């Protein structure tokens, strides 16, 4: 199964390090990030889970709940949690789903047979409050993720969902944004007074607030 942007994120109920979770109920009205790991007790994954634990407050500032997943069983996850804290200095503080029968991995297309028939790739799904998939990222097993970039994309997704703007290359929170082409010049003048026309199709303005 291939998950595409705009699809409803498949719901599931599974055991995790924080008990049984029903994914949609767990997210509630919040944004969500679901990200997978090839296996427990693997070096790159250990650093990633510790990094996400360190960034929990940053995700919370964005009203975003994080769920990890590995195809190993729950007992293995609990043992691994000790290594994560030892290596990174950060205790696992979000649910890590156990998916030994690969039900969730199959729902989300996390196993890529040409990469491995048995382990998940490093998939990331950002999910909106409407339970629609807003962004997908896929990394090979050997490449660790940049969670600062994932936070940046959430900032952009939340901003562009609320205002008629887009974010340019390398955009960061607080920088100028692009007015979408769906907005007429007349509407732009009303919504974004003082905007700049760089090209007829490229108009920039300060980042909207509120």
Query: Exposure pattern of 141-163 as b/e (b: 16+ CB <10 Å)?
Result: beeebebeebbbbbbbbbbbeeb
Known catalytic residues are 45
DSSP at 100: T
- Residue 38 and residue 49: Cα distance in Å, rounded? 12
DSSP code, position 206: P
Name residues whose C-beta falls within 8 Å of residue 161's C-beta, 6 or more positions apart in sequence: 128, 134
Written as six digits, the tokens of 57 are: 């407050």
β-strand partners of 204 = 178, 196
Reduced to 3 states, what is the DSSP secondary structure of residue 40?
coil
Q: What angle do CA 48, 61, 190 make, to 5 degrees?
A: 125
């Amino acid at each position: 199964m291939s998950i595409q942007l705009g699809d409803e994120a498949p719901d599931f109920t599974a055991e995790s390090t924080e008990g049984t979770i029903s994914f949609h109920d767990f997210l509630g009205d919040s944004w969500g990030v679901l990200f997978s790991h090839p296996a427990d007790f693997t070096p790159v994954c250990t650093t990633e889970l510790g990094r996400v634990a360190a960034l929990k407050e940053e995700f919370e500032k964005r009203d975003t709940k994080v769920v990890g997943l590995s195809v190993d069983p729950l007992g293995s996850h609990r043992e691994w949690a000790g290594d994560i804290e030892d290596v990174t200095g950060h205790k696992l503080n979000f649910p890590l789903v156990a998916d030994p029968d690969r039900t969730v991995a199959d729902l989300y297309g996390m196993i890529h047979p040409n990469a491995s028939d048995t382990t998940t790739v490093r998939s990331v799904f950002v999910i909106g409050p409407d339970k629609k998939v807003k962004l997908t990222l896929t990394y090979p097993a050997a490449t660790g993720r940049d969670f600062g970039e994932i936070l940046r994309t959430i900032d952009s997704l939340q901003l562009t969902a609320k205002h008629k703007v887009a974010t340019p290359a390398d955009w960061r929170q607080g920088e100028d944004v692009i007015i979408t082409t769906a907005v007429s010049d007349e509407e732009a003048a009303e919504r974004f007074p003082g905007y700049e026309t760089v090209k007829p199709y490229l108009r920039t303005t300060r980042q909207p607030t509120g």
